[in-house]
Amino acid sequence: METTGQGDCPGEVWLLPNWVDPERIYPLPVSASLRPELGLKPTNRVILYAGNLGEKQGLEILLEVAERFHSRPEVVFVLVGAGGGREKLEAKVQAAELTNVRFFPLQPNEKLAALLASADVHLVLQKKSASDLVMPSKLTGIMAAGGCAIVTALPGTSLYELVERYQTGILAEPESAEALWAGINRALTSDLAPYRANALAYAKRYLQKEAILTTFEQQLLALTPPAV
């Protein structure tokens, strides 16, 4: 959320970013995840997309990628959420007989940390037209949970620069099945511990609710004339 200064400060912009509640989203071991509840095996490599199943995410390419992993039964694509595009996606999965793609409904807030702990790799997918986002809300939760995300963003956008600068995830070109497939392959064959550590460190430093509100309060107080 951006707050634009008015009056004596025309054009001044403050950024009040999304925050994360550390009492609700935090790192958990896989043993405390939702894998058993979702019918996932300990040997599965779980690629998780959790959030809106709408049009702007361009999730159709995810099905193309899943088809390329069909010969690797240990790799499972888990889509959790609801949205206007879900029925169309489910129909395409059934038509293509993609047994490695599974859909689940939105999970209650108290299970969110356990859901995020279920993933080996998270997906933050956007179309090119929506890629200039500073921080998608789903990414803040992933980072607070100490997860590694594949993020589709264009070079030169705020989102791309943030992920690249802090090395909090793996970047891929939006709307490209080939780029997404390469990113997932890279994630499945790499040590993701550094990305996870960087993501959690970023969340602790920049996404804590108290720190964000304290900074905002200080900015507001700076506009108040000193007492005479």
- The CATH number of residue 43's host domain is 3.40.50.2000
Confidence check: pLDDT of 123 > 90:
yes
Count of beta carbons in the 10 Å neighbourhood of residue 190: 13
User: Quick check: helix, strand or coil at residue 52?
Assistant: coil
Weakest mean pLDDT among 90-99, 111-120, 127-136, 163-172: 127-136
The answer to the question of residue 75 being in a domain is yes
Give the SS3 label for residue 154.
Answer: coil
Does the residue 74 lie in any domain? yes
Domain that holds residue 188: 20-222
Position 216 confidence tier, pLDDT thresholds 50, 70, 90: confident
pLDDT in tens, 49-68: 999 898 767 788 999 999 99
Residue 11 in domain:
no
What pLDDT, on the 0 to 100 scale, is given for residue 1?
Answer: 36
Extract the tokens encoding 170: 């793996």
What is the pTM for the complete model shown? 0.88
Per-residue model confidence as pLDDT tens digits over 137-164: 899 999 999 999 999 999 999 899 999 9
Residue 99's nearest CA partner among 121, 132, 72 is 72
Q: What is the pLDDT of residue 223?
A: 80
Instruction: Report the distance separating Cα 15 and Cα 4, nearest Å.
Output: 9
Q: What is the CA radius of gyration of the chain?
A: 19
Q: Is residue 76 part of a domain?
A: yes
Q: Is residue 2 part of a domain?
A: no
- Whole-angstrom CA distances from 43 to 30, 79, 102, 204, 208 are 11, 18, 16, 30, 33
Residue 166 falls inside a structural domain:
yes
Q: Is residue 156 part of a domain?
A: yes
Query: In this model, does residue 5 exceed pLDDT 50?
Result: no
Q: Is 14 among the domain residues?
A: no
Q: What is the pLDDT of residue 2?
A: 39
- Helix ranges, the chain (H): 60-68, 86-96, 112-116, 137-144, 158-166, 177-188, 193-206, 209-222
Q: Among 73, 24, 76, 20, which Cα is nearest to 48's?
A: 76
Rounded-to-integer distance, Cα 189 and Cα 186, Å: 5
Average pLDDT for 76-97: 94
Nearest to 151, CA basis, from 129, 178, 179 = 179
Tokens 């040590």 appear where?
Answer: 191
Give the whole-angstrom CA distance, residue 131 versus residue 42: 34
Residues 6 or more apart whose Cβ sits within 8 Å of residue 193: none
C-alpha to C-alpha distance for 11 and 209, rounded to whole angstroms: 26
Closest CA to 183 of 123, 119, 117: 123
- CB under 8 Å to 218, separation ≥6 — which residues? none
What is the tally of structural domains in the chain? Answer: 1
Helices (H) and strands (E) in the chain, counts: 8, 8
Question: For residue 82, what are its two tokens?
Answer: 């609801």
